[in-house]
Amino acid sequence: MTYEQKITLLKEKIRSADAVILGAGAGLSTAAGFIYSGERFDRHFSDFSAIYGIKDMYTGGFVAMKLPPEEMWAYWSRFIHINRYTDPPKDTYQRLFALIKDKDYFVLTTNVDHCFQKAGFDKHRLFYTQGDYGLFQCSVPCHQKTYDNKEIVDRMLSEQKGMKIPAALIPTCPVCGKPMTLNLRSDNTFVEDEGWHTAAQRYNEFLRRHEGLNLLFLEIGVGYNTPVLCTASTGNIKIHTKQQSTEILLLNYQFNNHVSERRAA
């Protein structure tokens, strides 16, 4: 199948579907220009690279977690700023939105960079399962609540010197006083706050409302680490539905570098 034929297939499946569920992973943001290595990394983290030998933002994040909090938040405030509060260089998300904006759609994503909302997707049709770079939570956690971090991140950026933020800016939990951390799913301390549960309910309701209809599952940019709709190793559907006519299209380069089509019974 040629590239043009693949695109034609994709457009036709979207056109004929009663509704679309879009599952998206990090590859989509990479395609939009959120590159974690190379020139973009060097531009923002050359000082950390020179001292600690890190070569990309992803592995650098793990190194930073082991540093004193003044250094850790100097690193992570830069990371959050460029990957959450700035727009990606390319219009990939806007072009995707143009494809499905007139359909009844829902987005299920492991991405934590807020790109869908910035591109115009309805926030009530989004479920960020793995958290958000723009939210802090208690590291314990002592309570199930998250906090917007833009204001403090901006201060960390403007006031850091010598790869350190002022100690007064180190975020602590307003309830128990323990350190705050990012609201990212990495272990069982991840906070599923009220917004998370509301989004989960909306997604389940979307599935319920479309039982028996022609539902297209479209998975884009997902690799082995955090599959969204299908498992990377087998392509099996992770989500149990009662759909009589369900189709799955995978656009996941790492393990399936072409548009593949599956139909669920």
Is the separation of the CB atoms in 136 and 147 below 8 Å? Answer: yes
- The per-residue pLDDT for 235 is 41
Question: If we measure between CA atoms, which residue out of 228, 227, 79, 232 comes closest to residue 165?
Answer: 79
- The per-residue pLDDT for 101 is 96
Residues of the chain with pLDDT under 70: 223-265
- The per-residue pLDDT for 236 is 42
- The per-residue pLDDT for 221 is 87
Is the separation of the CB atoms in 111 and 226 below 8 Å? Answer: no
Question: If we measure between CA atoms, which residue out of 57, 75, 51 comes closest to residue 65?
Answer: 75
- The per-residue pLDDT for 226 is 60
